[in-house]
């Protein structure tokens, strides 16, 4: 995407259905960011605790158990493959962010 494209505002839709659905999506996106930030705070807290008590940070058995739990809970339309990808990306992001916080002293 060019710099000019990034500066252009999104064209407003005159269609009330489109506008309503976009508002709902925006609201969900805001909630997702809030939840990810809360999760990151908990992960950082857990990492500090584990470090203080000599416990390894990454627990692959727990990650696998959680993924299986989420698969059982998922009623779709998110596919099994999509859920796996989402969860693995979320875990990778959490690890990356918590390490970056440690490095920056945050």
Per the structure, the complete domain to which residue 62 belongs is given by 15-104
1 lies in a domain?
Answer: no
Going by C-alpha positions, the residue among 93, 83, 88, 104 that lies closest to residue 40 is 93
The C-alpha atoms of residue 44 and residue 101 are separated, in whole angstroms, by 8
Taking residues 76-99, report their average pLDDT: 97
* Residue-level pLDDT at 53: 97
41 lies in a domain?
Answer: yes
The C-alpha atoms of residue 86 and residue 79 are separated, in whole angstroms, by 10
Number of domains comprising the chain:
1
2 lies in a domain?
Answer: no
> Omega into 23 within 30° of 0, i.e. cis?
no
72 lies in a domain?
Answer: yes
pLDDT tens profile 29-67:
999 999 999 999 999 999 999 999 999 999 999 999 999
Q: For residue 75, what is the domain's CATH number? A: 1.20.59.10
Q: What is the pTM of this model?
A: 0.80
pLDDT tens profile 15-31:
788 889 999 999 999 99
């Amino acid at each position: 995407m060019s710099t000019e494209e990034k500066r252009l505002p999104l064209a407003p839709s005159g269609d009330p259905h489109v506008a309503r659905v976009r508002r709902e999506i925006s609201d969900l996106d805001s909630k997702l960011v809030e939840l990810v930030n809360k999760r990151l705070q908990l992960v950082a807290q857990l990492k500090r605790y584990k470090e203080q008590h000599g416990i390894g940070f990454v627990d692959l058995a727990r990650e696998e158990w959680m993924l299986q739990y989420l698969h059982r809970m998922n009623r779709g339309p998110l596919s099994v493959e999509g859920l796996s990808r989402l969860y693995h990306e979320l875990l990778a992001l959490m690890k990356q962010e918590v390490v970056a916080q440690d490095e920056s002293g945050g």
